[in-house]
Amino acid sequence: MKNALITGITGQDGSYLAELLLEKGYKVYGLMRRKSVVDYGNVDHIKDKIHFIYADMQDIVSLITAMKISQADEVYNLAAQSFVATSWDTPCTTADIDAIGVTNMLEAIRIVKPEARFYQASTSEMFGKVQAIPQDETTPFYPRSPYGVAKLYGHWITKNYRESYDMYACSGILFNHESERRGLEFVTRKITHAVARIKLGVQDYVELGNLDAKRDWGHSKDYVRAMWLLLQQDHAEDYVIATNETRTVREFAEAAFKAAGIEVEFEGEGVNEIAKDKATGKVVLKVNPDFFRPAEVELLIGNPAKAEKELGWEREISFNELVERMVKNDLAIVEKEIKSAN
Ligand code: NAP
Ligand code: G4F
């Protein structure tokens, strides 16, 4: 039996990865942050199978202790302040967690068990103002947010520890991946949750920012399989994980409304753009400039050819299935809320 340590286990990816590793027979350790009300987040349903360790990415002592307790063979570093918009509000904390936190974890491994294998959750946000289309492992980076900049440090320090200490340390450069467990503030889940509320009559419209931004969206369940594959190779290398399809936020919204049985049409431009329900003429989407970012990543589309060829990875959940699963899940959640309120 192998031991795995997952930082960020309570988040979206951490929960799917924990399920995958438990299925594979790993003993799974997960880092938890202390909160005033105990909250297991997305792993509540499997909490009895996980060995929790209280720790924080900003506290290297707690990470050294976590390595001593877990004696992890594989460490998956998923913990992060992961919401790009907030990184302009808390740039220093974002850097402490997403940049220095990676060094803290790498040092803890180097001190306690240098032969442990290390996965770093790198991101397509590092490509930012893209220098090539599509983006692959050779594309130069140009981050556009404090989050992207901090993650770029995490990416390079991982490569540096691989080269300096011959550690098995690698990064998956993952493009956007969503799911039924996505945080409510990210645009996909914000849309599917609002669509469910609009469909069930408890909300009139959703307000969004830049509808022209393009993202390469996959499902988290497919992407955590890639994380595991990255740590099972003969030697450590970095890989892009993506679908090679890109869509605008507008297209995601259109697909989500359609999945709930609402056909929408868009009219107007820029901040005056709206979407109406074709059947009723009611406005169901408005643009609100408050949701625009100080600097935007306009277009992301990844080329996962290296991962497909060398890891045998491929995504199984299509864009339409992703949207349908998220809308169906939010319809069930909102329906339940309505019933319990009555
Ligand atoms: P998420 O749902 O926001 O989860 C983030 C996790 O990090 C949570 O478990 C959170 O714990 C934990 N965390 C935050 N600050 C911490 C700290 N100081 N110490 C310890 N734990 C801390 O994120 P996700 O979508 O699963 O993403 C997982 C990782 O992949 C992140 O590093 C993200 O930046 C990266 N990534 C995500 C995507 C994507 O599209 N989802 C794409 C590329 C890369 P609490 O529950 O205590 O808040
Ligand atoms: O859903 P988002 O907040 O995700 P973003 O910024 O692409 O970041 C996510 O993916 C990264 C991988 O590329 C991860 F590293 C990161 O941790 C995170 O998981 O925004 C997507 C796009 C942006 O262009 C944003 O400006 O949607 C646009 N958008 C338009 N209206 C909105 C909104 N985003 C949010 N969150 N809320 C809106 O109302």
The predicted pLDDT at position 159 comes to 98
- The reported pLDDT for the residue numbered 262 is 98
Interval 278-288: pLDDT, tens? 999 999 999 99
How many A from CA of 84 to the centre of ligand 2? 7
Average pLDDT over residues 1-16: 98
pLDDT score, position 53: 98
Q: Ligand 1: residues whose CB is within 6 Å?
A: 7-8, 10-14, 31, 33, 41, 56-58, 78-82, 97, 121, 123, 174, 176-177, 183
* Residues with a known catalytic role: 123, 125, 147
Q: Ligand 2, residue 123: give the atom nearest the CA.
A: 15
User: What's the whole-model pTM score?
Assistant: 0.98
pLDDT at res. 125? 98
Closest ligand to Cα 249: 2
Q: How far is the CA of 27 from the centre of ligand 2 (A)?
A: 33
Q: Which ligand is nearest to the CA of 95?
A: 1
- Residue 33: the pLDDT is 97
pLDDT-derived band at 195, boundaries 50, 70, 90? very high
Does ligand 2 have an atom closer than 6 angstroms to the CB of 94? Answer: no
Q: Alpha carbon of 107 to those of 61, 110, 125, 161, 269: distances in Å?
A: 10, 5, 25, 9, 51
Q: Which ligand is nearest to the CA of 222?
A: 1
pLDDT at 241: 99
The reported pLDDT for the residue numbered 294 is 98
- What is the overall mean pLDDT for the chain? 98
Distance from the alpha carbon of residue 186 to the mean position of ligand 2, in angstroms: 6
What would the pLDDT profile of 304-332 be if each residue is shown by its tens digit? 999 999 999 999 999 999 999 999 999 99
Please write the tens of the pLDDT for every residue from 33-47: 999 999 999 999 999
Ligand 2, atom 7: nearest CA belongs to which residue? Answer: 176
What pLDDT, on the 0 to 100 scale, is given for residue 192? Answer: 99
User: Could you give the percent of the chain with pLDDT greater than 90?
Assistant: 100
